[in-house]
Amino acid sequence: DAMDPLQDIHAEIQQVLVDEPRALAKEGGIIRVGVSAELDELRAIQTNGSGWLARLEQQERERTGIANLRVGFNKVFGYYLEVTKSNLHAVPQGYLRRQTLVHAERFITDELRRFEEKVLSAADRSRLLEYELFTRLREQVAAQADRLRQTAEVLGTLDVLCALAEVAAKKGWRRPEVSEEYGVRIIEGRHPVVEALTGSFVPNDLSLDESTHLLLLTGPNAAGKSTYARQAALLVLLAQIGSFLPAEAATVGVVDRIFTRVGAADFLARGLSTFMVEMMETANILRHATAKSLVILDEVGRGTGTSDGQAIAQAVAEILAQEVKAKTLFTTHYHELARLAETIPGIANARLEVREDQDEVKFLYKVVPGAAQKSYGVYVARLAGLPPQVVQRAGELLAGWQQEKERTALGTDGETGDSGESSRSGKYGANGRPAAQTVLERLLQIDPLHTTPLDALVLLAELKKLAEGTERNKVKGER
């Protein structure tokens, strides 16, 4: 209905321009024959010029009796009549010398000069005239810009709707239920782009509602966390623009905005560091997200040191879950964050399943409840082609740190729930902090008023041993 086919503008352009105009409007060759009588005449002068010259040549041969008199053109001297040296005696009055060659002389006559002027200026004038006609057409079309824009918009909308309909029909997408409720529930959702690229895509469900609105997603590298999180954003967006979805079924509550903090797009050219950009984007999300928003945070905090990063990640997750209450997908490698689900209502853990088979790790791409235990970072690094000696050394370091951690965990009894993040234990070992902490805790248990001198000596020996034990591990780990 709103579609204006712009027939008049089309007809006008069709009528004025040739089918294949030249690229440069000032070079001519763009206006159709019949548009301007003056232009047609100027063109005729140029194309008919050769006929006129042939007639002139014939006429002058007869007049002078010089059989080999010839008309020619060169870029420097223009048109000329050429007479060989042997015939110079027959040259009539009115021939003006233009150029002397070894065997011939070249002349111009008034008649030829007038012709020359006419032809040369005709070329210039027709180019100018063509440009003028072109400019006029352009102005006429520009005057209709509003209609053009409107039609372009209608066509654009039509194009998008057709594309969505086509992909929905071809790929078996389903119609979602879009509601005013808070929750999002997707059954067997798929990431349309990754699916198209991989061929065999593992579908996953997603459920966010008032009781569970922040999903904390852990899982090894390359297990599919980012894919799952982006898929959620894409599907909610598709549902809300009226599209069918790559899912078996879905109920999608309308969101006011979708916020994403994904990838590591650098703005170094703008003078911003990776971490700076990460934090600026996160700040923007925290400022503007509401309970009606969907928030996708992919590994927030990874751009800085482990402790800082984890602290920031946890603080952000807490605010989003407790105050903003936005529907949130939060992927992280800080496995310790999984503990938040125990204390903060609204947070739930999910992980991407992997199967460990002797030396192989198999990614199943299935999202299941619970928190991940390991990152398999070294394994993925090996898959990626990191040199064997680097992979082996990393494996040794990891094993060393894990042993040390188990030992300190025993010493501090009560810290055993700490699962997985090896870089953290390594750092702590290097700081000597568990040693200090263990000794401190033991010290606090001592009541000096009820300790005999002998007990004190025994205690001192015990404390020294505690300190030494951890110190030895530290040296081993750093070797």
Ligand X SMILES: Nc1ncnc2c1ncn2[C@@H]1O[C@H](COP(=O)(O)OP(=O)(O)OP(=O)(O)O)[C@@H](O)[C@H]1O
- Going 215 to 219 to 225 to 226, the CA torsion angle's sign is positive
Task: State how far the Cα of 188 lies from the Cα of 414, in Å rounded to an integer.
Answer: 40
Residue 35 binding target from Mg ion, ligand X, none, CB below 5 to 8 Å by type: none
Could you tell me the smallest distance in angstroms from the CB atom of residue 276 to ligand X? 20
Q: Answer with the entry of Mg ion, ligand X, none that 365 interacts with (C-beta below 5 to 8 A by kind).
A: ligand X
Q: Nearer Cβ to ligand X, position 68 or 198?
A: 198
- Dist. CA 100–CA 107, nearest whole Å: 9
Q: Please report whether residue 225 would count as binding ligand X according to CB under 6 A.
A: yes
Among ligand X, Mg ion, none, partner that 219 touches (CB below 5 to 8 angstroms by kind): ligand X
Please give the Cα distance from 400 to 247 (Å, whole number): 45
Query: Shortest Cβ distance from residue 32 to Mg ion (Å)?
Result: 59
Shortest approach of ligand X to residue 353 CB, angstroms? 11
Q: How far is the CB of 6 from Mg ion (least distance, A)?
A: 48
Q: State which residue, 225 or 335, has the beta carbon closest to ligand X.
A: 225
378 is an interface residue for ligand X by CB under 6 A: no
In this chain, which stretch among 96-104, 133-141, 222-230, 277-285 interacts with Mg ion, using CB under 5 A? 222-230
Q: Per CB under 6 A, does 364 bind ligand X?
A: no
Q: Residue 329 CB, nearest distance to ligand X (Å)? A: 12
Our CB check for ligand X shows the closer of 227 and 438 to be 227
Does the protein bind ligand X through residue 376 (CB under 6 A)? no
Under rule CB under 6 A, residue 83 binds ligand X: no
Burial class (CB in 10 A: 0-12, 13-18, 19+), 215: buried
Q: Which helix (H) or strand (E) holds 256?
A: none
To ligand X, the closest distance from the beta carbon of 449 in angstroms equals 54
The vertex-235 CA angle with 234 and 237, nearest 5°, equals 65
Task: For residue 420, state whether it binds ligand X (rule: CB under 6 A).
Answer: no
Q: What is the DSSP string of 366-435?
A: EEEES------HHHHHHHTT--HHHHHHHHHHHHHHHHHHHHHHHHTSS-TT--S-HHHHHHHHHHTHHH
223 binds ligand X per the rule CB under 6 A: yes
**Are the C-beta atoms of 367 and 201 separated by less than 8 Å?**
no
Q: By CB under 6 A, is residue 224 in contact with ligand X?
A: yes
The residue among 224 and 411 lying less far from ligand X, judged by its C-beta, is 224
Q: Which of 80, 107, 201, 330 binds ligand X (CB under 6 A)?
A: 201
Q: Which helix (H) or strand (E) holds 73?
A: strand 70-74
DSSP state of 17: B
Stretch that binds ligand X, among 81-89, 163-171, 219-227, 309-317 (CB under 6 A): 219-227
Q: How many residues bind ligand X (CB under 6 A)?
A: 13
Q: Using CB under 6 A, pick the residue from 36, 126, 218, 226 that binds ligand X.
A: 226
Burial label, 441 (beta-carbon count in 10 A; 0-12, 13-18, 19+): middle
Asked if 221 contacts 377 with a C-beta cutoff of 8 angstroms, the reply is: yes
CB of 335 to Mg ion, least distance (A): 15
Nearer to ligand X, 39 or 223 (CB): 223
| Shorter beta-carbon distance to Mg ion: residue 106 or 261 | 261
Structure tokens at 394: 């990393």
The reply to whether 227 sits near ligand X by the rule CB under 6 A is yes
Amino acid at 254: V
Distances in whole angstroms, Cα of residue 235 to Cα of each of 177, 252, 284: 12, 9, 23
Place of tokens 């898929």: 231
CA atoms of 315 and 338, how far apart (whole Å): 13
Question: 197: burial class by Cβ within 10 Å (0-12, 13-18, 19+)?
Answer: exposed
Name the residue nearer to ligand X (CB basis): 236 or 372. 372
* 122 vs 300, beta carbon nearer Mg ion: 300
CB of 217 to ligand X, least distance (A): 8
Supply the minimum distance, in Å, between the C-beta of residue 445 and ligand X: 42
Q: Please report the DSSP string for 213-241 in residue order.
A: EEEEEE--TTSSHHHHHHHHHHHHHHHHT
Lay out the site mask for Mg ion across 223-262 (x = CB under 5 A, - = otherwise): ---x------------------------------------
Reference 258, options 243, 278, 236; nearest CA is 236
The stretch near ligand X (CB under 6 A) out of 172-180, 193-201, 310-318, 319-327 is 193-201
* Interacting residue ranges for Mg ion, rule: CB under 5 A: 226
* Interacting residue ranges for ligand X, rule: CB under 6 A: 194, 198, 201-202, 219, 221-227, 365
